[in-house]
C-alpha cells in the first residue's frame, strides 16, 4: 500500500480504538494552533493549513463507525462481513483452498509477491507530521533524510513542509526522500522580532 491513509494523517494504526483516534486528532489540532505557528515562514503556514484540512477530513471519516468501516473496506483493511484478521490466522500451504465464496483470482491475489517493483511513485508527505511521513515512505522502501528547519526545536513531532523529489516522481526503491521538517521553537530561543 503506497498511498497516504487517514490513519497515517492522524498517526494511528488501523485497529486504533475510537478514544485513541480522538486523542490523536486533538493532538494534531493542538500542534497546529495559531499560537504554535506564530512567526512561522509562509511555507510552514501553508503546510500547516494542509495538515489542518487533512486532520479534519481524517477525523470526519474515522470518528464515524459506518464511514470508517466503508473506508477500511475501500483501502483493503477489511472485506465485507469480515474484520481485520489477526496475524497468523487463516489457511496456509500450497494445497489449501480458501473455500466457498473465494474465486481463484482471490486466492491468487494472496500469493506472495515475486519481487517488488524497482521504481516507486513518491508520495506527497507535505503537511504530514514527520513520524507519519516516515511510515508512508518506509512502506515504499524509501529512506528518509530529514532537514531540520528549527535551530532549537521543542521535543514534538515536526511538520513536513517540503520534500525532494517532488510528489508523483518515480524513483528507485531504496532511494532517498529528503524532507524539510519544521518544529515549533523552544520558548525564548528565537531572536526578538524587529
Tens digit of each residue's pLDDT (9 = 90 or more) over 51-74: 999 999 999 999 999 999 999 999
Alpha-carbon span 16 to 13, nearest angstrom: 5
Full-model pTM: 0.76
Q: Which residues of 20-56 are buried (b: 16+ CB within 10 A; e: fewer)?
A: ebeebbebbeebbeeebbeebeeebeebbebbbebbe
In the chain, what are the domains? 6-75+116-182 (1.10.287.110)
Residue 1's pLDDT is 42
Are residues 77 and 13 in contact, defined by beta-carbon separation less than 8 angstroms? no
Grid coordinates representing 164 are 525532494
- Provide φ and ψ at 143, rounded to 5°: -90, 145
Pairing of strands 176-182, 143-148: parallel
Average confidence score pLDDT of the chain: 84
Amino acid at each position: 500500500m503506497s498511498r497516504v491513509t487517514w490513519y497515517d494523517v492522524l498517526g494511528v494504526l488501523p485497529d486504533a480504538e475510537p478514544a485513541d483516534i480522538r486523542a490523536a486528532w486533538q493532538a494534531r489540532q493542538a500542534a497546529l494552533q495559531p499560537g504554535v505557528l506564530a512567526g512561522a515562514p509562509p511555507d510552514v503556514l501553508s503546510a500547516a493549513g494542509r495538515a489542518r484540512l487533512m486532520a479534519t477530513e481524517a477525523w470526519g471519516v474515522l470518528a464515524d463507525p459506518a464511514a470508517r468501516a466503508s473506508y477500511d473496506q475501500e483501502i483493503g483493511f477489511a472485506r465485507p462481513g469480515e474484520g481485520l484478521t489477526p496475524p497468523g490466522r487463516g489457511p496456509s500451504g500450497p494445497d489449501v483452498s480458501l473455500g466457498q465464496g473465494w474465486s481463484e483470482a482471490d486466492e491468487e491475489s494472496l500469493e506472495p509477491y515475486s519481487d517488488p517493483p524497482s521504481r516507486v511513485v513518491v508520495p506527497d508527505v507535505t503537511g504530514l507530521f514527520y513520524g507519519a511521513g516516515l511510515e508512508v515512505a518506509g512502506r515504499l522502501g524509501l529512506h528518509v533524510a530529514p532537514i531540520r528547519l528549527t535551530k532549537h526545536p521543542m521535543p514534538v513531532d515536526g511538520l513536513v513542509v517540503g520534500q525532494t523529489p517532488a510528489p508523483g516522481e518515480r524513483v528507485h526503491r531504496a532511494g532517498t526522500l529528503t524532507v524539510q521538517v519544521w518544529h515549533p521553537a523552544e520558548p525564548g530561543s528565537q531572536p526578538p522580532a524587529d
